[in-house]
């Protein structure tokens, strides 16, 4: 029997009636998509629990942290350095949303043809349905895509001036890198002022270690998906990556490593979540925020397995670590800033390194095909799909491009296209 959190949600000024409805829908959706999977590892029980308490226990923990004087920082992009937030003992929470919620409200502020990720984070707030945004002391935006940077101006009004925007260069030349390093330092100062805590060498070392360990655990999980048959479904791996943006980082790392121990045993026994020989798919493109499970659910229900995500809810979030070998605060901030410049987002021009990332990942995970996923109206990824397609052809991997939003209306159409794609792979395009 789950605890009653109504008083807490009321205190957070949420719309209780609408929220009840949302939780009901999400619970059913989760049961149908996740709990119906076969051969799930035992270690997934923790993540099922996290999801069942995503607006409950975790929010209670965050409120408790606030009572102890810790600041809560909301983010929308993997460019925002989590190390700095932890260095001032802050709580870092991802605020991106993956459901069609509050869109009518959001469309009073932004055009209908705005990407669903933006409409969703605005919609969740405007409809009084996001307890995370209610707990934040600061919300950090970034100058990545045009949609986000303009929406942040409006979100600042909606949240009564909570926004702080980091300037991310459009290009990664030396001027861009200098600008970014300055921005990282400005953010460090902002956090010191907000929290009243000094960033020291010691707390930077500690924070960097925590975040690196989290990334290493996710890297370990990613490597294990290279096994044939894969010991874990793409749906479950996606969920873990989504949870990485909400959970306490130390506990999360422990649980991912425990799960990986179990997956290693499965691999030794030759035991997988599906039988051997089914098409192995790499997803690449726009991020999939929770509960955006649509493409994974469709693809895996059609007899394939997703073995990786070249995405910010995936590899782009964890594939590089911060060099922990720093001896001064200045050195640490430089190394943190350098690490983030390795994230190859389509918001940069040019962004050819992403093609190399996709190629390496496809090889590492032994993918048989690439599905490029772009959220409708996500211009950077929609356009970059052209280069990814060309590159996939060059390396001999079948390619499928999907543009979709958060609605369920095109489920049938996507199913048909994915089925045809998987047949193509089955007809001998595979090694």
Residues found near ligand BJ8 in the complex (CB under 6 A): 77-79, 115, 117-118, 144-145, 147-148, 286-287, 312, 316, 343, 345, 347, 375, 378, 380-381
Q: How far is the CB of 170 from ligand BJ8 (least distance, A)?
A: 12
Q: Which is nearer to ligand BJ8, 203 or 311 (CB)?
A: 311
Q: Which is nearer to ligand BJ8, 47 or 79 (CB)?
A: 79
Task: Label each residue of the chain as H, E or C.
Answer: CCCCCHHHHHHCCCCHHHHHHHHHHHHHHHHHHHHCCCCCCCCHHHHHHHHHCCCCHHHHHHHHHHHCCCCEEEECCCCCCHHHHHHCCCEEEECCCCCCCCHHHHCCCCCCCCCHHHHHHHHHHHCCCCHHHHHCCEEEEECCCHHHHHHHHHHHHHCCCCEEEECCCCCCCHHHHHHHHHHHHHHHHHHHHHHCCCCCHHHHHHHHHHHHHHHHHHHHHHHHCCCCCCCCCHHHHHHHHHHCCCCCHHHHHHHHHHHHHHHHHHHHCCCCCCCCCCCEEEEEECCCCCCCCHHHHHHHHCCCEEEEEECCCCHHHHCCCCCCCCCCHHHHHHHHHHHHCCCCCCCCCCCCHHHHHHHHHHHHCCCCEEEEEEECCCHHHHHHHHHHHHHHHHCCCCEEEEEECCCCCCHHHHHHHHHHHHHHHHHHHCC
Q: Which is nearer to ligand BJ8, 171 or 265 (CB)?
A: 171
Q: Which is nearer to ligand BJ8, 121 or 252 (CB)?
A: 121
Q: How far is the CB of 245 from ligand BJ8 (least distance, A)?
A: 10
Q: How far is the CB of 406 from ligand BJ8 (least distance, A)?
A: 11
Q: How far is the CB of 276 from ligand BJ8 (least distance, A)?
A: 33
Q: How far is the CB of 114 from ligand BJ8 (least distance, A)?
A: 8
Q: How far is the CB of 240 from ligand BJ8 (least distance, A)?
A: 17
Q: Which is nearer to ligand BJ8, 305 or 313 (CB)?
A: 313
Q: Which is nearer to ligand BJ8, 69 or 173 (CB)?
A: 173
């Amino acid at each position: 029997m789950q605890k009653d959190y109504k008083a807490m949600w009321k205190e957070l000024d949420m719309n209780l009636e609408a929220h009840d409805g949302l939780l009901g829908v999400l619970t059913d959706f989760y049961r149908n998509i996740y709990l119906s999977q076969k051969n799930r590892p035992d270690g997934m029980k923790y993540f099922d629990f996290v999801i069942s308490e995503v607006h409950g226990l975790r929010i209670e923990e965050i409120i408790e942290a606030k009572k102890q004087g810790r600041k809560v920082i909301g983010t929308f992009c993997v460019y925002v350095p989590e190390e700095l937030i932890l260095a001032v003992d802050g709580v870092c929470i991802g605020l991106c949303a993956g459901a069609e919620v509050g869109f009518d409200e959001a469309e009073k502020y932004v055009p209908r043809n705005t990407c669903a990720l933006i409409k969703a984070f605005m919609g969740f707030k405007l409809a009084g349905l996001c307890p995370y945004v209610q707990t934040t002391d600061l919300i950090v935006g970034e100058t990545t895509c045009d949609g986000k940077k303009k929406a942040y101006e409006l979100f600042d009004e909606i949240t009564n001036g909570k926004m702080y925007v980091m300037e991310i260069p459009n290009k990664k030349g030396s001027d861009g890198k200098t600008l970014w390093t300055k921005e990282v330092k400005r953010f460090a100062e902002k956090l010191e002022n907000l929290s009243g805590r000094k960033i020291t060498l010691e707390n930077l070392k500690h924070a960097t270690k925590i975040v690196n360990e989290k990334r290493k655990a996710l890297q370990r999980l990613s490597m294990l998906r290279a096994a044939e048959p894969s010991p874990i479904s793409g749906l479950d791996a996606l969920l873990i990556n989504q949870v990485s943006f909400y959970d306490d980082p130390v506990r999360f790392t422990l649980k991912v490593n425990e799960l990986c121990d179990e997956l290693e045993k499965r691999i030794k026994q030759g035991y997988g979540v599906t039988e051997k020989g089914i098409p192995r798919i790499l997803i690449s493109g726009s991020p999939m925020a929770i509960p955006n499970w649509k493409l994974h659910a469709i693809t895996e229900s059609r007899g394939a397995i997703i073995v990786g995500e070249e995405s910010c809810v995936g590899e782009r979030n964890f594939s590089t670590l911060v060099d922990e070998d720093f001896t001064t605060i200045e050195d640490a901030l430089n190394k943190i800033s350098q690490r983030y410049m390795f994230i190859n987002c389509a918001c940069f021009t040019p962004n050819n390194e992403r093609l190399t990332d996709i190629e390496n990942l496809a090889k590492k995970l032994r993918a048989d095909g690439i599905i490029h996923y772009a959220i409708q109206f996500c211009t950077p990824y929609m356009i970059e799909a052209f280069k990814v397609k060309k590159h996939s052809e060059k390396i001999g991997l079948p390619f499928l491009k999907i543009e979709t939003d958060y609605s369920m209306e095109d489920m049938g159409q996507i199913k048909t296209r994915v089925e045809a794609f998987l047949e193509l792979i089955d007809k001998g395009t595979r090694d």
